[in-house]
Structure 1
């Protein structure tokens, strides 16, 4: 109801503006002479379109660019209305032309600034939404969707036809931490482990939270030997660092499964499945170890 009344108030403002301009125009020259109907229709349509945009601008109230569009469209409306009335009362006066064109230029400038800021805000919002859609809230890592997108991008790039290493890691006995110390402690451990893994990667390698206490890592142009070295580096780094929570040191280890995504793979999920099977083998063989898929 408030928005509806707001639109009515804006429409009334436009109607009053037309009335005032018409009165002033009539006073200046009360005689209507040889109306140019083509110009009258054109200017009338522009006036109507601008009026509709101005009235419905209320939906954008509160946005930082609203004031530019608001004043800009109002000035354009005034300019087009003046031009429309000039088709009826053919003044040909220099001051009327200067006023009309001056208002038109200022109106267009304000609308340009408003639209520019609107597009900039739209771009920022899109980027923010994209980050939210592909980022894990707790750890700040890529989520599963984001990791898959990154892996797809790597696979499509070809990376000189060299295989891409995929590592799937799972924190060992993580349920015990939640059961003994609570879920806040578990969340703290997940954040610490995320930072530890990320610290071992370069800017071409990516890590994501695969789900729960699982992490997925991808490394381009990486041989099986290099991939195993990276896995052992991560595994050792996590095992060597305890996490203090409310004065208690929490020790965590990680089991890792590895595979290679090669051009011969039908899709990336085949390689992920091989890494996942290798992870289960690491678990079955005593945990806190890395296993390359066969």
Structure 2
């Protein structure tokens, strides 16, 4: 009898059945910079913030979901090791991951686009990004001119990426989204705008890419070779300030006070604390001042 039981246990292990089965290593969700990225991944319940627009990400890493009559649109994906949580949050809202038709990219860095490949595989969706963003996502790494390129990890390359231009519109069902180029942080950074309606009131929604002027060690924005990047930042600040903007979500919520707004909203604070028609202007002004400070600091060296 003992011999039969041992044989059965060995058979279970060999065939992949039984409690001793080892978890499979999925190259598309293999953790990137786990010790560093953990600070972004504190769990957050999925929540509808307004009308057809939801948050399905983390406390320090926003992933947005838009419901349309013809399927779902996701904005950003987070890091690969967070994909299972994002997909679980989508299911908790009553949706099917396979309903995702488009995934929109704000920037081609591993913290926002690292999970694209896994989500494309699981959903069949197409990723949309700015021209340089699309090139970077196809390679699975930052482009050489990216101010942070020297210290960024690579990520799973994304097979299904469609490049879109500034001002281009994407329609899915009853929702139209407009691509808004906001380069600087990366040359391919893209923000996204759409209308969302609730109880007969329609507002202008903005999901903004990062605008903070950060870089790898040794990089100088005051280097004449980088004048184009500084000019890109200036154009992006102006574009962000001019957007119709009733509700702003940013790739990293703490950059625009989104973490505090979410806490108040989930606690039942009304009126909706996310509603702030001055949020885009304040966001642009904050990082315009940060760029000025960075340039002044470099110039003083």
Give the shorter-chain TM-score range.
under 0.3
Q: TM-score, normalised by structure 2?
A: 0.27
If each structure's strand is expressed as a fraction of its own residues, which one has the higher value? 2
Structure with higher RCO (Cα < 8 A, 6+ apart): 1
Name which one, 1 or 2, has greater alpha-carbon Rg.
1
Q: TM-score, normalised by structure 1?
A: 0.28
